[in-house]
Structure 1
Amino acid sequence: MKKRILAYGRLNDDQLAQLGHDFEVLNFPGLASADDPAFRSALPDAHGLIGASLAITPQLLDEAPHLEAIATISVGYDNYPVDALTRRGILLCNTPDVLTETTADTGFLLIMAAARRAVELAEWVKRGDWQAGIGPERFGSDVHGKTLGMIGFGRIGAAVARRGALGFGMRVLYSNASPKPELEAELGAEHHEMDALLSESDFICVTVPLNADTEHLIGEREFALMKPSAIFVNISRGKVVNEAALIEALEMGRIRAAGLDVFEQEPLSPESPLPHMTNVVALPHIGSATHETRTAMAQRAVDNLILALRGERPISLVNDAAWRSV
């Protein structure tokens, strides 16, 4: 009997066929909740799960006694109880590398758009308000030659910094990471304590993963340390930032602007003032949302799951301890 896979991510026909060659695949396109009756009824016989944006709980795992591996179509894995998976010997695989450059593009897009007030001024033109030359009240800020502070300096953080240092001649500071001599040599990056980074940077970009240590890492105290001219960018997870404190900092002029691809609640509540603020560029979590990258992410997840269910080590494994226990 073939092992069973429950698929609930955006997989194309070729990817579903690849999985179906050796496994039984039950596809749940557009699955919005793990409470879906058909999905729950299929769990007891599932050996693998593949998808994204579905919260997996220990209670859900109790209903899947044969589960061997989960392949998430994402880099982040805050929707998964890693410790519970590891105790059960269930492999959790993710998709780093394939979205690094695309997400870094999005981060630098936000830096540029917020600095040059691109969205605000595009709307100004669209309304027909462009009747004369641009005056100082609508001037933006230069990006080249400024100081870029990276909170988090993993793959994506380094890729954003590389764009700033090599493309725009920016001074790069980084925190929330161990010293990285190779990046310091390549980019001239400087390792700083976060308070110093916040006070010195013209642009502050957050790329840390969400966990117990980073939830609300940036709040009222941190915004108070930033320059009034600072531009804050978040491409990590919404809950890394205390959104109420961010809104207050923007309204009170404690910082100049923000570029945001992630929010505490997604989709963003219609009641949120953020998308209506002229000094905010708000995007609908598009960090990796290109045809090429999403296809590559799904393919990495497929490859991971096939290897895992064959008893081979996946390409991208989150919980190495689970592999060692297999």
Structure 2
Amino acid sequence: MADPRPRVWVSQPLFDDVVERLGQYFDLDMTAEVTRHTPSQLAARLAGADGALITLNERIGAAEIANAPRLRAIANVGVGYNNLDVDALSAAGILASNTPDVLTETTADLGFALLMAAARRITESERWLREGQWGQWSFRTMLGADIHGSTLGILGMGRIGQGIARRGALGFGMRVLYHNRSRLPEATEAEVGATYVDLDTLLAQADHLVLVLPYSAASHHIIDAAALAKMKPGATLVNIARGGIVDELALADALANGRLAAAGLDVFDGEPTVRPELLALRNVVLTPHIGSASQATRRAMVQLAVDNLTAALDKGPHAGRPPSAINADAVHAARAGAAFVGAKKTDDAKR
């Protein structure tokens, strides 16, 4: 009798025509409706799966995979993966992957859109208009900040940060400063029109500061009350990275007391919950984590995740070589160790 086909769980409705390509190789367990899975529900779904295609909504760690002996791969539809306990997955020999590169330009578009909307008070103006207040217009109504010719600061200078730098320098004639864990090559700096500075200089000189750095323990609340106090009075802050990078209570206070002029936020600490202190403010533009939300880009992300999962489960033209694995080396080591232990137990039993 033929071996049963590997089973793949798909955690959320995505693009059926793309996801169903997995059906060429696997039996699919597809979630029909948008679902907020509890930890116990995640564990139950993963228990019988060989692979899983998940989104940032699913947080998976040691507890969720404890009873999933068949699970070999998790494909995350997103470039960030702080929803995954990568160390736990690696120790269990489970390959994790993400979807970088395909969302770079779309996310940079959204970052710049938030910068412009916040600095020019777009959503605040629309709200004011819809409330019927235009009759109270004066020459100083809704004065915002210029973008052209101003100083753009970028914290985190990966692909998305570089995309934002190009938009600022080439499109709006901005002076672009950046800070990153490591300095870019001179040729790349020249290409994107950016100058490297230390963090304090970045905070002090940026008229508009955009956060694009990865989330980690080291970057948690890197923008706190002390950092906000170092920023130029009346500056604009944009966060398209992760919510935990910013102390949101400190940010709300800086916006409420006029220390900062405005903010644009696409990410939040504790998503999908947004702090009421931020919701109450008019000088903050809020979007629900839509950085990559264009039709073409979201489809490309799902396609890359499908390719990753197919290859991670040793199927398809790239079998064994997923395009964007996160922890391949650690998984190989864990699987080799497990194989060694299993062989030793067999050998000992024969003696």
TM-score range, shorter chain: over 0.9
Query: What is the alpha-carbon distance in structure 2 between the residues aligned to residue 312 and residue 23 of structure 1?
Result: 15
Q: Is 1:131–2:139 an aligned residue pair?
A: no
Quick check: 2:43–2:63 contact (8 Å CA) kept in 1? no
Q: Which residue of 2 aligns with 1:154?
A: 158
Call closer, same or farther: CA 1:124–1:34 in 2, change over 3 Å: closer
Q: Normalization by structure 1: what TM-score?
A: 0.94
Q: Which position in structure 1 is the counterpart of 2:340? A: none
Equivalent pair of 1:275/1:281 in contact (CA under 8 Å):
no
Residue 237 of structure 1 pairs with residue 237 of structure 2: no
Residue 42 of structure 1 and its aligned partner are, at CA, apart by 4.2
- 4+ residue segments displaced more than 3 Å: 34-37, 39-42, 322-326
Q: Residue type of the partner of 1:259?
A: G
CA contact (8 A) 1:100 1:159 kept: yes
Give the C-alpha shift of residue 13 in structure 1.
2.3
Residue range with higher mean Cα deviation, 294-303 or 180-189:
180-189
Quote the Cα distance in structure 1 between the aligned partners of 2:71 and 2:271: 29
Question: Aligned match of 2:167 in 152, 163, 170?
Answer: 163
Deviations 1:254-300 (A, max 9, x none): 1111111111122234x612133121111111111222221111111
Partner of 2:344: none
Cα offset for 1:132?
A: 6.7
* Alignment size in residue pairs: 324
Q: Which secondary structure does the structure 1 equivalent of 2:102 belong to? A: coil
Contact in 1 for aligned 2:99/2:304 (Cα 8 Å): yes
Q: Shift of the alpha carbon at 1:137?
A: 4.1
Provide the alpha-carbon RMSD of the alignment: 1.7
Asked if 1 retains the 8 angstrom alpha-carbon contact of 2:91 and 2:331, the reply is: no
In the other structure, the counterpart of 1:319 is 327
Distance of 1:88 and 1:214 partners within structure 2: 27
Alignment of 1:11-90 (within 5 A): 11-29=14-32, 30-35=34-39, 37=41, 40-52=43-55, 53-90=57-94
Structure having the higher Rg: 2
Where does the alignment leave 5 or more consecutive residues of structure 2 unmatched? Answer: 336-351
Q: Give the C-alpha shift of residue 21 in structure 1.
A: 1.1
Kept in 1, the 8 Å contact 2:75–2:306? The answer is yes
- Map residues 180-199 of structure 1 onto 2, 5 A cutoff: 180=184, 181-199=186-204
8 Å CA contact 1:34, 1:55 repeated in 2? no
Which residue in 1 is equivalent to 2:345? none
> SS where residue 260 of structure 2 aligns?
coil
Number of the residue aligned with 2:176 = 172
Structure 1 residue 222 and structure 2 residue 227: aligned? yes
Corresponding residue of 2:299: 295
Q: Deviations over 1:35-91 (max 9, x none)?
A: 465x54443331101011101011111111111111000111001111121222211
- CA distance in 2 between partners of 1:43 and 1:97 (Å): 28
SS in structure 2 opposite 1:172? strand
**One-letter identity of the residue aligned with 2:54:** G
TM-score, structure 2 normalization: 0.88
What one-letter code is carried by the residue in structure 2 that aligns with 1:315? P
Distance 2:178 2:24 in 1: 46
| Per-residue deviation, 1:177 | 2.9
Q: Aligned AA for 2:187?
A: E
Question: How far has the Cα of 1:138 moved from its partner?
Answer: 2.0
Query: 5+ residue gaps in structure 1?
Result: none
Identity of aligned residues (%): 46
Q: Distance in 2 between matches of 1:35 and 1:179?
A: 40
**What is the CA–CA distance in structure 1 between the aligned matches of 2:169 and 2:218, rounded to whole Å?**
28
